[in-house]
Amino acid sequence: MSRFFSEKYSALTPYTPGEQPQDMKYIKLNTNESPYPPSSKALSRASEASARMHLYPDPECRTLTEKIAELCGLSFPQVLVTNGSDEILNFAFMAFCDEKHPAYFPDISYGFYSVFAELNGVPYKEIPLCEDFTINLDDYKNLEGTIFVANPNAPTGIALTLSEIEKLILQNPKSVVVIDEAYVDFGTESALSLIDKYDNLLVTQTFSKSRSMAGARLGFGAGNRELIQDLNTIKYSTNPYNINTMTMAAGIGVLEDAEYTEKNCKAVMKARGYTVKELSKLGFSMTDSKANFIFAKHSSVGGEKLYRELKSRGILVRHFNKPRLCEHLRITIGTEEQMQALVNTLSDILEGR
Ligand code: PMP
């Protein structure tokens, strides 16, 4: 830390992203990316757009925002496009949390929530998940602040149903309820359909997972127009040009290629089913994941040992060195071939080969 670093940030522990080795020698199952390349339509649109790199991008991001709104059954003022969904989440902490409106989220969830709370100097309360990693909705009643729930949750992959989400919103009329749907496309019902009904619901989604665009950084928030207006106030006070020209064009391209996205999601869900079946045979227990990852624990071998053994054999998975999580591995679902390699390697490790 330099002697110039502001005291208000000096105790901040930044988010630790998953490893991103640059040599590509690993089968990468650690950061929940798509194993499939970007849509060719996304690539050609981005390539054409790069010729306009000398100009600032459209700060309204109008064409892409309108396309997203149409897809969600909403209108332009109900959507804000951001630099990954991390940015809309940070905007939500900035816009809707303060000393009188703490942030509430499960104690086991996306690790960035507490970092955003710390960064913005807002109080937060982590509400413990049940023993089986599910959320007890009775723990979220009449809260006055902002509630962040990832649905499905990370790193467990467990999803709430749409009626449970509606109950959460109804139980907390004085709170903004943020539903983080980063992994919604792998088998969870979206809460987008509730937006016209509730003025305290913000849904966030990303192009990083099902749409194979993690490197382009594109996400969005959707909600009541006043909520979106507030978030726009934050956006125009931090970075009006938050979406670069190439990403904006790629986003339009991938939305024109809905069949490709759907095909990839189906393949991931099929490979997830295969992996769950095979890992059960090897002695793993898993949560009921609706995401593009599974959360697995072996009956006798610890999470850290398995993580290290897999890494030494060229397979990267995510291990969290935290109580309640440290015996588990979070394994991204890749292609069927990658998952076969994972199963074979785990089988070798467990049999001492
Ligand atoms: N929410 C959850 C639950 C996530 O796991 C992630 C990705 N790590 C994000 C949001 C943010 O993703 P991105 O910024 O790539 O949209």
The residue whose CA has the least distance to atom 3 of ligand 1 is 110
Q: Note the pLDDT of residue 353.
A: 85
The predicted-structure confidence for 246-274, as pLDDT tens digits, reads as follows 999 999 999 999 999 999 999 999 999 99
> What lines the ligand 1 site, CB under 6 Å?
84-86, 110, 150, 154, 180, 182, 206, 208, 214, 219
- In DSSP notation, 1-22 reads --TTS-GGGTT-----PPP--S
Query: In angstroms, what is the C-alpha Rg of the chain?
Result: 20
CATH architecture of 18-37+259-350: Alpha-Beta Complex (3.90)
* Residue-averaged pLDDT of the chain: 97
Whether the pTM exceeds 0.95: the reply is yes
Residue 86 Cα to ligand 1 middle (Å):
6
Q: For the chain, where do the domains classified as CATH 3.90.1150.10 start and end?
A: 18-37+259-350
Residue with tokens 């509430």: 104
Q: How far is CA 97 from CA 90, 117, 225, 316, 339, in A?
A: 10, 8, 18, 36, 41
Sheet holding 328-332, edge to edge: 284-286, 293-298, 328-332
CA–CA gap between residue 109 and residue 151 (Å, rounded):
10
Q: What is the reported pLDDT for 24?
A: 67
Find out if CATH 3.40.640.10 is the number for domain 40-256: yes
Report how far residue 40's alpha carbon sits from residue 15's, in angstroms, rounded to the nearest whole number.
32
CATH 3.40.640.10 residue window(s) in the chain: 40-256
**Residue nearest (by alpha carbon) to ligand 1 atom 7:** 182
> Measured in angstroms, how far is the CA atom of residue 234 from the centroid of ligand 1?
20
The CA distance from 292 to 134, in Å, is: 18
Tell me, what amino acid is at 65? Answer: T
Q: What is the pLDDT of residues 128-145, one digit of tens each?
A: 999 999 999 999 999 999
The band of 175, judged by pLDDT with boundaries at 50, 70 and 90, is: very high
